[in-house]
Amino acid sequence: MEKRLIQKVLVTGLRGFTGQHLGAALRERGASVVGLVQGEPCGKDDEIACDLTDAQAVRAAVARVRPTHVVHLAALSFVGHGDARAFYDVNLFGTLNLLEALAALDAPPQKVLIASSANVYGTPGVEVIDEGVCPAPVNHYACSKLAMEHMVRTWFERLPIVLTRPFNYTGVGQDEKFLIPKIVSHFKRRAPFIELGNLDVSRDFSDVRDVVTAYVALLDSNARSEMFNVCSGEATALRDVLRLMSEISGHDMDVRVNPAFVRANEIPILRGAYDKLVEAVGFKSRYTLADTLAWMYAADTHAEGGV
């Protein structure tokens, strides 16, 4: 595996859950990190306010940074978001604006990593999902990500791009509107009950720290014009997540199934294969789901500042 000198990294979505962990990891390596963020920068010189749906603003921001590497994380990612059109405006056309801006640079970046989602696979009817499984998205979030992938592939000859399909992942700092942080929060508060949807769904849960390790390794590598699953290779049922949290916290609570939380077109099992990632960068997961849950349970989220 050939390694590249990561000098100046432009990260879209730097303030987000993944972006904060990735930014910290890159800075530990000595890289300069600049983020494109929504809203006004918080008095930091490593942030540039930029709406990805504004092509002119994106082009100006990219020209200002002139990155050696790019990680595109910014997306509308909450599947339950109510505005269907917004998924495509941000996830598809926002990505197009970014690629056009990067291609306009005098010196194009050495690597552009673009995060898609394993949600594009839908319900494939196979036990283990590798990159060869035909996508069949079942919601607007996944449809917008697959449309983005197809558009990005038309840029493979012009920019050194790698695409990733991360499966579910979690960790300290993830918003409680997502499933695992919601569960951990209830156990932390020793709540008497929790309302959830389908308890029988199984997901491939990774630790955000492992996902960040995979992303940095791909930036280091000579891989390009390729798609990589990022996952743990194991599927865990929601019932087992609740059991693990009960063991970690020493707390039991009533679990109530709320029909309002049971999604139409729910994908029953998502489990990924990451052999291709192992072959490309020697990736190996460092954290089990129990490790991740214990980390989240022990964390002082206020002191962590969401990182």
Long-range contacts of range 148-151, CB-CB < 8 Å, 24 or more positions apart? 148/91, 148/92, 148/95, 148/114, 148/116, 149/116, 149/120, 149/227, 151/92, 151/95, 151/96
Q: How far apart are CA 304 and CA 267, in angstroms?
A: 33
Domain harbouring 135, CATH code: 3.40.50.720
Out of 88, 121, 141, 169, which one is annotated catalytic?
141
Q: How far apart are CA 163 and CA 37, in angstroms?
A: 21
Of 172, 179, 169, whose CA–CA distance to 118 is shortest?
Answer: 169
Of 290, 285, 295, whose CA–CA distance to 173 is shortest?
Answer: 295
Q: Report CA dihedral (179, 184, 189, 192) to the nearest 10 degrees.
A: 60
pTM: 0.92
Question: What is the pLDDT at residue 123?
Answer: 85
Of 214, 233, 215, whose CA–CA distance to 273 is shortest?
Answer: 233
Question: What is the pLDDT at residue 3?
Answer: 54
Enclosing domain of residue 212: 8-173+205-234+272-286
Within a domain: 125: yes
Question: What is the pLDDT at residue 304?
Answer: 38
Question: What is the pLDDT at residue 305?
Answer: 35
User: In the structure encoding, which two tokens stand for residue 176, read together?
Assistant: 């409680």
- Which positions ≥6 away from 236 have C-beta within 8 Å? 202, 203, 204, 205, 289
Within a domain: 305: no
The angle at the Cα of 59, spanning 58 to 62, to the nearest 5 degrees, equals 85
Question: What is the pLDDT at residue 82?
Answer: 66
Q: How far apart are CA 265 and CA 142, in angstroms?
A: 12
Residue 4 backbone dihedrals phi, psi, to 5 degrees: -115, 150
Question: What is the pLDDT at residue 273?
Answer: 97
Within a domain: 183: no
- Torsion sign across C-alpha atoms 215, 221, 225, 231: negative
Question: What is the pLDDT at residue 78?
Answer: 61
Within a domain: 53: yes
Q: How far apart are CA 197 and CA 256, in angstroms?
A: 8
Q: Position of tokens 């979030």?
A: 141
- Which positions ≥6 away from 158 have C-beta within 8 Å? 103
Within a domain: 262: no
Q: How far apart are CA 43 and CA 266, in angstroms?
A: 42
Q: Is 141 a catalytic residue?
A: yes
- Torsion sign across C-alpha atoms 206, 78, 95, 129: positive
Q: What is the DSSP secondary structure assignment for residue 156, as one 8-state letter? A: T
Within a domain: 255: no
Within a domain: 240: no
- Which positions ≥6 away from 29 have C-beta within 8 Å? 6, 216
Question: Element (H or E) spanning 170, and its range?
Answer: strand 169-170
Within a domain: 94: yes
Question: What is the pLDDT at residue 264?
Answer: 73
- Helix ranges (DSSP H) in the chain: 17-28, 55-65, 84-88, 94-103, 140-153, 179-188, 208-220, 238-249, 275-281, 289-298, 301-304
Q: How far apart are CA 273 and CA 279, in angstroms?
A: 12
Domain count, the chain: 1
Question: What is the pLDDT at residue 306?
Answer: 33
* pLDDT tens over the chain, length 307 residues: 445 567 999 999 999 999 999 999 999 999 999 999 887 766 567 999 999 999 999 999 999 999 999 999 999 876 555 678 999 999 999 999 999 999 999 999 999 999 999 999 998 888 899 999 999 999 999 999 999 999 999 999 999 999 999 999 999 999 998 899 999 999 999 999 999 988 888 999 999 999 999 999 999 999 999 999 999 999 999 999 999 999 999 999 999 999 888 877 677 888 999 999 999 999 999 999 999 999 999 997 543 333 2
Q: Report CA dihedral (127, 198, 298, 272) to the nearest 10 degrees.
A: 20
